[in-house]
Amino acid sequence: MVTLEINGKHTSISHSCILEAFFYAVKELMPRKKNLDIILYISHLEEVDITGYHIKTDRYTHEIEIECRQNEEDFLTAFFHELVHVRQTERGITSDSTLSYYDRPTEIEAYHLQEELYKKWNYLQS
């Protein structure tokens, strides 16, 4: 079963919208995935340059934290970015920490797909 637990609140995005975006992204990124549990924390991140992060906590279980003070587009784009990292982790793809952040293949893919997912998602919402 694919599930999303949402902790916290965004000022302008409803939980139902976040759930719809989540299931859309999972369908696009991992269409055959049957077991996946995501816990999403919407909170104030202390570090200035970080809009979100992802960690794997157990088999098929991941936590994502997203900065709550972003506008809707930036919030959803950051969420999609972190879901790309979920897919990478589920596939056993790890980040090469010997490279600078923006030169890592995992980040290049995540930044590319976050934009693609958001554009498609936004189109479907209009």
Q: What's the CA gap between 98 and 14, in Å, rounded?
A: 39
Q: What's the CA gap between 118 and 65, in Å, rounded?
A: 18
Domain range for 74: 2-125
68-121: pLDDT as tens digits: 999 999 999 999 999 999 999 999 999 999 999 999 999 999 999 999 999 999
CATH number of residue 68's parent domain: 3.40.390
**Residue 41 binned pLDDT confidence (cut-offs 50, 70, 90):** very high
Q: How many structural domains are present in the chain?
A: 1
Q: What is the mean pLDDT of residues 11-19?
A: 95
42-71: pLDDT as tens digits: 999 988 788 999 999 999 999 999 999 999
Structure tokens at 55: 């960690």
Q: For residue 107, what pLDDT is reported?
A: 97
Q: For residue 49, what pLDDT is reported?
A: 84
- At residue 86, the 3 state secondary structure works out as helix
Structure tokens at 51: 């809009």
Q: For residue 35, what pLDDT is reported?
A: 97
* Look-up of token digits 């859309």: 24
Q: For residue 111, what pLDDT is reported?
A: 98
Helix pair angle (105-125, 72-90), 10° resolution = 130
Cβ-contact 42, 6 below 8 angstroms: yes
Report field, pTM of the whole predicted structure over 0.95:
yes
